[in-house]
Structures are given as C-alpha cells and as structure tokens.
Structure 1
Amino acid sequence: MSVRVRGIYATALTRLLYDDTGVVQASEPIRERFDATFPVAPALATVATTDDRQGVGVSGEEPTVDAATDRLESVGVDTLAWNDPAPEGAVFDARVESTKRSGAVLDLGEDDKGGIEGWLHFSQVDDRIEAGDALRVQIREAVAPWSDDRPVCTTDLTVETELARLVRSDQSDATTGGVELASLLPTDPRDGWAVRWDERADDADLDALGATLDRLNERAAVLDALPNPASAGESGDEPGRLTDGLATTWCWFGRESRFALDDLRREVTPTMGGHHRAKAATNAASAAVDFAEAVCDDAGDGGEFPFAALTRQFGPREGDTLALGHGKPAGHLVVLGRGEVTDYDPVGKVTLEREMTPGGTYDALGVERRAGDVAVTKLQEGRWWYPTVYRGSDGERRGTYVNVCTPVELFPDVARYVDLHVDVVKHADGRVERVDDDELDEAVAVGEIPEPLAEKARAVASAVENALR
C-alpha cells in the first residue's frame, strides 16, 4: 500500500502513515524534513486537505483508503470520517432536476442517507438540456459532506491516476506527453483510449509507469462494459450509480485531533503550539504560522496555543459577525445563525448575540419564539459544550439550552464543532432536563459516532446537568 499526502497536514500525516502504509511522491519540504528518499511510484490513495482546511479527503483503491482512514481516525477522539456516495470518477445515470443560469442540478439517485445531487455546467453539454432529461455523467470533483457545494459532474468519461489519465480517442497515436520511457512499456492503452502522461511521470521508473497503465486499462474496461446511456430527453433508467470510481472517505479533524497532529509533526520538525489549529483558521493565518516558525527561534518549541495573538490579527473580535457552524454526526453542516460578537476575552471566550425570528418553538424548551427575542450564546475555545440563554424583549429569561459537542473552535467567521445529540436544558421555572440520549445511542448504532466519543458526550452532559441543578 502507498499514499500520496498533500496540504497543511502533510508533515503530520506523513509521519502517521510512513511506517504502516508507506508514502510516495513526497514534496520537497517533506523530503527535507524527513531526510529520506520517497519513491516516485503510483499512489494507491491520495490524502489531500480540503479547501476549507477542516480536514482531508482520502481517495483511491479501497483497501488502501480503508487502511489510511483507520490510521487517521486514531489521531484523536474527535476525528470523524464519512464515506462519499458520489466519489471522484464514479459514473451515474442522472436526470436533470432543475436548471440554473450556468448549469443544471442533477438527480444522481439515492443512498441509505437520502438523495444525491450533482452539478453540471452547461459547457459540458453540446445541446440544450431541460428538467427531466436523462444523462450519463461522471464525478469530476467530489466534495466533503460538510460543504454547501454539490459534486461537479462531466459528460466526458475518463479514468485517471496522479501520473496519467485515459481519454476517449479515435486517433491512431494513443500516447501523448513528454515521458520518454513510455514507448518502452510492454502494454499499450486500451483500444479506443489515449493516454495522457502527467509531468510527474518523468521521474517514475518503468515498473511504475507500467503499473499505472495497467490500472488505467482495467478501469477503462469497466466503462467500456456499461450499457449505452439514454440520450437527453429520453426517459432512461432510474438515476443511480453505475461504477464505483475511487473509494473516498472524508475525515474532519476536531480541535483535540489538530493538537494531536501538532505532536506528530513535532517529532519531525519544530512546531509551534496550535500549529494546525491556527492553519485551519484562514490562508493568511497559515502563512503567518510558516513565517513565525521560520524566523523565530523559539516559535517551534511547542508552548501554548496563541489564541489572543491569532484572534487579534484575524478575528473574531468584538463587533465582528460570527456564525454557528453546527456540524451533524452524519457529516453535513447546518449554520444555526449569525450574530454579533458583543464581548471578546483574549483567554479564548466570546459572547454572541442573535435576534431571533418569530415562529415555532425553541428545541426541547417548548417555548414559543416571539418577535424581539434575543439569544445570548457564550462560546469558549476548546470546551465540549456551550450555553445559549433565550430572553424576551422585556429581558425575561425564557430558558437555557446547553449544547454538548466536540471542542469548540473559534475561527474568524464561524464557531465550528460537531453536535453530539445529547443536550441539557434549563426551563424558565428552574427545571433541568437532559434530552436526546436516544439520538446519541442511535448515532452510535449506525456508526456515525464512535463509542469513545459518545462516552465523552454522556460524561459532559452529566457534568452540565449536575452543575445546573
């Protein structure tokens, strides 16, 4: 097994995966830090940081993806992982659900968690398409479950690895690219396909190139065996997945896991306290960490996480707008609302005020939401819970809701955590009630929350419950 690692977690994850899984195609900084030679060989999986820096995607051959994911989940109690129902390279029979200005929303069928949607830009189709049309598409870009985006689809079916890809071709010359050794390979691209070599293949040996082309040909054969698709406008078969594509999991790192990754990185190179927590905040903060570790002799010696310095420079500060990024154990993200930071404490605390819209009731409190109600939420970096006090327009306390969650992280524009279902409420009359233990038990049963994390949630809920009585 072998993996390719990229992104802000690369050094720590290379250390994590180096012994058991094997790392290939390492970047120059990684080679220097490890003082080691990494082979330019085909990667059976790629581990890459997500665009929002909250975690990583792991994609490739299923056994290697499973092994790498198991290692990643061992990083910390608040590392959570989900399988992708629409991974890169998977082929679907799709139906146009609706059209927008620049593209179409596609119905890709369902999995055990519900419907799957995709996005197809109009540049990917030659003819006009309308709602109800049938299409055969491939996932070009998969997305993390906590993202608001839909996976990006294409109607051009290809097969790819990090060293080369196969594309449909009727040309006699089936090989392109600057790889001089390619002409010496014992195998050719499959009939009807042409190989496009990546520049990284220049550094690979014949065995690596041959193994890459063999894998591509195997996957191309799967596409060739598919039945002919329905044309746009035809009814076709029901939407659904036809091929597996690359096995893909998404791993979200909680705060405790980011600090555990700091420890792994520190085994290889000087690393400041909160290195990965700061890098996850913004691209600018990530660059600042690199600069500080490069020029300050003691910056990489561990120490305390510089929350005050980070937030003074990048936020959140008093007067800023902050969202509540309420992650769900199933993987998706719900924004509970945005409010104004009314108080900031450099030790790691902020107070958030939101004006509530009328209608419905407050969860578990059973109290009507009225015009003029205000929610005051107190958040503390690293704490496994946070309280929200609801008050009426007259200032009367209408109830308190304490959310139990993975450790809160206060990023510049969002407070991020994953909800752990069980919560504690205190009613206006003083009654204290613990709620949703059954939802936590169910999440454990279906594999959304590991039992050690569930035990932590129950212990936190018990401590909060006792404190409120």
Structure 2
Amino acid sequence: MKLPVDPPLRSTDQPRVRIRGIYATALSKFFLDREYQIVQSSDLMKERLPLEEKPLSPQIDIKTLYGKQGVKISCLSSHSEKTRSLFTNEFEDVIINQKEIEKGAVYKAIIHRPSPKGGYIARLTPQYEAWLPPRTIQTGNINTGDITILEVKELDSEIGIPRVSRDINYPGDFAVLLAKPNEVKVSNKLSQEEQERLSGLGEILLPDEWGILWRTAAKNVGIEELKREIDRLTEKAAEFTASIEEAPSLTKLRNGFQSMEVFFPGMSKRKLDSTRRKVVPTVKNHHQFKSLGMKYALLVDFTEDQLSTTLDPSKASDMLNEFLFSRCRREGKELPIYHKKLKGREVILGPATVIESKTKENDWEYRTFRRFETGGIYDGIEARQESGDIGVTFVEIGSEKLVTLYFDMREDLKGIYVNINSPIELYKNGVGYYDLEVDVVLTNEGEVKILDRKNLERLCNEGIISKSLVTWIEDKTQESRRWLEQNASEVVEEARRVIELAK
C-alpha cells in the first residue's frame, strides 16, 4: 500500500460537495455548472436546482464563516488544489487562507518533549509539531523519544499548534469507525427519531474493539448497506494498520481534510449575486446585505419574494439599497473601519466621527474626523504624529481606495495616505475591506510615492491571492497615483471643509 493513503470514503465520478449558509444557492449553481455532485442539500435548494440526491457524504464541505464574509471549506486533500483553483480562476479578488496541516491526517510521530500545558509536544514531521494533551495519555505509558501513531483532531489548540490523539478513527460515507470500543454516536443533524433508530442499529452492528459514529448520510440507507459499511471500514482499518509498521517515523501515513477559509470581497460578492440571479430573483448587493445580520437578511428575503410577483427587479433593488443605506447614516457617531489583512488579522481603525454622509451614484459616502492625542510616526508620509493632529478620511462604499489626510493642529497638511483595498463594503457595525498591501502617499515633502509593492509576489506565491488580483492591484495602484497627482489640491480643500464642519 502506497503511503499516505486517503481516508476510506467511496470515490465517485463527480466530486461530492455539501454547501450550507448564505452563499448556498450561488455556490450550488457554481459547482453544478462545473459537474460537481451536490449532496445533502436542503429542501429549498432541491426546489431551486435540478439536484439528484445520492446517499453519500461530501468530499468537499462548505459552510458560511462567522461574520459571513466568506466560507470555510473542508475537503479531501486530493480535491484541495482543484477546489482552490476554481475559486482563484473565477473570482478575481477572492482571498484564500489554507491551513498547512490537515484535520484527520495520521502521522508516525516522535514524542519530542513535555508540554508546559501538560501532555507532550510531538513532532509530526521535521517541520511540524503538535500537542498531545494529558487526557489522551494513560499515566506512564508514553515517554520522550517514543514513536507513536497520531491523528490530527483539531487544527488550532489552546497552545497554538494542532491537537493530536492516539485514537485513530476511520471515516466512511455512512459511519466513522471510532477507536472507542462499545461507543455508539449519531450525527446531531438527524431527527430524534432517526437518532434513536441508528443508536439501536449501532448496538447490533458494533464490531469488536471499535465504536461507531453514524453520519448524516446513514439516514438514507438500509441496514444491509450499513452493515457492509462497518465491515468495509473494519477491513480498511486492518489493512492500514498492517501497512504502516515498516513506515519511517516523521512521515504522513494518511491524508486528511484540507481546511481553507475563502473570503469574498466586493467583486466576488457581486459575481455571486449574478450567479444566484440565474436561479432565483436576486436584488443588487444581495450577499453584502445578507452578511449584515438577521434583520437585514429578512428584509432582503421579503423583497426577493415579491420580485417574481409584484415588484420590478431593478426598481426593487434601488429602493432596497436606498433604504438600507439610509439606515446606516451615522452623522455625529463613530464609524468603525474594519481593516482586514490578507492573512486574517483584523485592525479596527479609529475611533473617527462621521461628520457627513451622503449618497453617491446609488452608494454611500462618509467623511470622518479624528483628532490624535498621542505621538508617533505616520508610516510612509515621513512625518511625525503629534498631539493635536487631525485625520480626515473619505470612505466611499464600493471604492477601491481609502483616502486619509493628516494635518497638524494649525491645519497645515502633513501628508495624504491612499490605501489600496478591495471595494469598501457595509459591515454590521461599520464598514470594512481587505487591505491589498499597497499604498500610495503624498509625503510631507510633496512627493507622490508607492509603498509595499514587494509583498504582492510573495502573497501570490503563497496562494493567498491570484495572479489576476496582483495585476488588478497594480493597475489600481497606478490609477490612484495619477489620481493623487492630479487631485491633491482639490482633496485637501474638501478635507478642510470637513474640518470646518467638525468645529
């Protein structure tokens, strides 16, 4: 047997994908058009799309991220590269952060040293370490230097590295063979009645020295098929155990499920809107508004329910956009600006107060004012930050740049900072964007400069952004440089007007 092996799920001609959350309709259509098989769909999705239900578990599992700005994908490692390429090829500004270690992967590891949190730090490969907690170890039966087989159970443990266990499980399509004898568990996604039925079957079908976890797909098959599944997994477990005895230490023995977070900035959301529109009536900015929270999501749902009956789609979209943007007027209030880095870190800029907000070509625009109380350095514009300095920021929904002007307490200009970003969007409590690592500045000496360009190639090589996004960023950078060279005096005049309004 060639190592590493894949988990013992059944293979099919079409990759199997399960999709949940606010992007489900658009992404189901997206994958269906590319000949993927959609499994375990909701009843609503079966009404919307021509789906042929197959009683198998997904090889690719997609759920909406907390915050609703994208999706979390867990997929068999054999499908990860193609899945990643689908998104980077089709969505220009998509951002992908992928974990280096796979959940469910199995390693022939070496116990490296005791952990300050208890248990041990194990070395999985020459590059990667993981934490073996004390609760998974029987007293006195493991020591530093021991070679042992470990499965990755959690990618982010409380000590910042993956958590592993010596309990090796075997996932199939209808069941998971558990390294816990006589234990029967059932997916909590099933009804109470179905859970009770499968619990009873589990007691009957329990193999020696193993436990069973029934998966969601088990509800769709009969007892004979479930028995064959348990027999197959038991056989696969025996084959795997025999095949790894001679394997060298510090190697991967079984692939796991690759975890990636896929973020959809403004352009990607608009493309998803367009894809969804091919399936059901969809208003402009559907996915942006659905990410704002339940009350806005319900309003979007209500409006779209009327589109096929009484409302003109274009007029309804304009009315909804106008209403939702009007609810976000914030004069006199602080405006949190969520400055998201491409590797996941988030910085909230401010606090700055909204001095003026207005519509602009069906989008919204803010002018904010901030007075600085502490010193420091304005990176890039080559000027000191001093107590009493003023910052004026122009925030335009849909814009690919965030413009901030810095003045001293006498209102003399210190410099202008243009942040190149994904299109600015409304967020639940403010506005946000993804910082695209390049900035254009007007320095204190009056020179227009471009900063940070060297990071783009590295981020592209790491697979976080696509080559097409790099090209887009470079184009927007040059466009912003020309804009700043031609409009600096006009922008300064507008900022001084905002300062007067703030007095």
- For the criterion TM > 0.5, the same-fold answer is yes
Q: Does 1:449 align with 2:449?
A: no
Q: Distance in 2 between matches of 1:318 and 1:110?
A: 55
With structure 2 as the length reference, what TM-score do the two structures score? 0.72
Kindly indicate whether the alpha-carbon contact (under 8 Å) linking 1:355 and 1:375 is maintained by their aligned counterparts in 2. yes
For residue 323 of structure 1, what is the aligned residue in structure 2?
A: 336
CA distance, structure 1, for counterparts of residue 301 and residue 112 of structure 2:
44
Query: Is 1:79–1:251's contact at 8 Å kept on the other side of the alignment?
Result: yes
Distance in 2, matches of 1:11 and 1:293, equals 14
Residue 392 of structure 1 and its aligned partner are, at CA, apart by 2.2
Q: Give 1:400-415 correspondences, 5 Å limit.
A: 400-415=416-431
Q: Which digits, 9 at most, give the CA deviation of each residue in 1:85-114, with x for residues without a partner?
A: 354435797988777xxxx999898999x9
Residue of structure 2 equivalent to 1:383: 399
1:48 to partner: Cα distance: 1.1
Contact 2:339 2:432 in 1 (8 A): yes
Pairing partner for 1:197 from 205, 210, 214: 214
Structure 1 partner of 2:3: none
Which residue type is aligned with residue 36 of structure 2?
Answer: T
Q: In structure 1, what is the equivalent of residue 367 of structure 2? A: 351
1:372 maps to which residue? 388
Give, as a single letter, the amino acid of the residue that structure 2 aligns with 1:54. Answer: Q
Structure 2 match to 1:131:
none
Sequence identity percentage: 21
Cα separation, 2, equivalents of 1:149 and 1:350: 41
Corresponding position of 1:248: 259
Q: Distance in 1 between matches of 2:306 and 2:411?
A: 51
Q: 1:178 aligns with which of 172, 197, 200?
A: 197
- Alpha-carbon distance change, 174 to 269 in structure 1, aligned in 2, over 3 angstroms: closer
Structure 1 segment 433-444 matched on structure 2, within 5 A: 433-444=449-460
One-letter code aligned to 2:181: D
2:73 to 52, 55, 58: 58
Structure 2: give runs of 5+ residues left out of the alignment: 1-14, 140-145, 187-194, 486-503
Q: Distance in 2 between matches of 1:46 and 1:220?
A: 27
The residue type equivalent to 1:388 in the other structure is T
Query: What amino acid is the match of 2:401?
Result: W
Cα displacement string for residues 121-176 of structure 1 (whole angstroms, at most 9, x for unaligned residues): x999999xxxxxx9999665657xxxx99789586845556743333323398999
| Backbone CA RMSD of aligned residues | 4.5
Q: Pick from 70, 88, 91 the counterpart of residue 85 of structure 2.
A: 70
1:273 to 284, 291, 296: 284
Q: Which residue identity is paired with 1:178?
A: R
SS in 1 for 2:399: coil
Q: Work out the number of aligned pairs and report it.
A: 439
Pair 1:96–1:58, CA change in 2 (3 A): farther
**Partner of residue 325 from structure 2, selected from 293, 308, 311:** 311
Q: How far, CA to CA, are the matches of 2:207 and 2:314 in structure 1?
A: 53
Bigger helix fraction: 2
Paired residue for 1:34?
A: 49
Q: Give the partner amino acid of 1:360.
A: G
Residue 305 of structure 2 corresponds to 294
Pick from 442, 445, 448 the counterpart of residue 426 of structure 1.
442
* Matches for 1:200-279 after TM superposition, within 5 Å: 200-204=217-221, 210=228, 214=232, 218=236, 244-279=255-290
Residues 193 and 384 of structure 1, relative CA distance in 2, 3 Å threshold: same
Letter in 2 for 1:25: Q
- Say which of 159, 166, 169 aligns to 2:177: 166
CA distance in 1, matches of 2:386, 2:294: 40
Task: Verify the 8 A CA contact 2:96 2:463 in the aligned structure 1.
Answer: no
Structure 1: gaps (5+ residues)? 128-133, 228-236
Q: Which amino acid aligns with 1:29?
A: L
SS in 1 for 2:37: coil
Distance 1:467 1:288 in 2: 38
The change in CA–CA distance for 1:2 and 1:327 in structure 2 (over 3 A counts) is: same
172-181 or 57-66: which moved more? 172-181
The letter of the residue matching 2:30 is L
Q: Which amino acid aligns with 1:337?
A: L
**Aligned partner letter, 2:313:** D
Separation in structure 2 between the aligned mates of residue 308 and residue 96 of structure 1, nearest angstrom: 60
Residue 377 of structure 2 aligns to a residue in which SS?
A: coil
Q: Cα distance, 1:28 vs. partner? A: 0.5
Of the structure 1 ranges 34-43 and 402-411, higher mean CA displacement relative to structure 2 is found in 34-43
Call closer, same or farther: CA 1:273–1:25 in 2, change over 3 Å.
same
Alpha-carbon deviation of 1:59? 1.0
2:346 to 334, 337, 349: 334
